[in-house]
Amino acid sequence: MAGVMDIRDIEAVLPHRYPFLLVDRVDELGDDRIVASKMVTRNEPHFEGHFPGMPVMPGVLIIEALAQAGALYAARLTAFDPRRQVIYFMAIDKAKFRRPVVPGDHLTLVVTPLRKGGAIWKMRGEARVAGQVVAEAEFMASIQNKPASGGGAPAGAAGAPVAGAASVAQPGDDASQSPSDS
């Protein structure tokens, strides 16, 4: 499946909105990977405090951008219905940060599946600037039905959709036993 998604297409799938929607465009969407873009701009609110006089994009937001790209990938390869379902971030593993990302950078998000299909997905993501890897991680996500009330996470899931704060699996945790997200 090849295709490109603009911001309207992305907003139709993900529940995120500015300032937490961290994918601006999808450049490639196939069976084996997604390539998406995030334009890093100085007017993003996190730069006011991270760090004054030396703005650096927080690493957790880079991982969040990778997770959002992964959610778009999973949604396109399944019968995902954003009116009835949500994709929850479950775990992060092997996260590494190689160099700072600063305003003006074009962040390229490349996500490939390690285990795909069904309700639980495992993916690997690389964030690149000018072809150089600046961050990488493996992460898991779960496709769940939205709660009937339209509020919070479904029973058995902790946190919020991929849009929420990152939840990191601790050594010895078995993320495949009960979904948790960020």
Which strand ranges, in their side-by-side order, compose the sheet holding 25-29? 25-29, 34-39, 106-115, 120-129, 132-145, 85-97
Domains of the chain: 7-145 (3.10.129.10)
Q: What is the pLDDT of residues 26-64, one digit of tens each?
A: 999 999 999 999 999 999 999 999 999 999 999 999 999
- How far apart CA 64 and CA 157 sit, in angstroms, is 18
- Residue 151, CA distances (Å) to 16, 21, 45, 87, 159 in order: 15, 19, 26, 14, 11
> Is the confidence at residue 177, as pLDDT, over 80?
no
Catalytic residues, by residue number, are 50
Report helix, strand and coil shares of the chain as percent, to nearest 5: 15, 35, 50
Q: pTM of the predicted model, to two decimals?
A: 0.82
3-state secondary structure of 118: coil
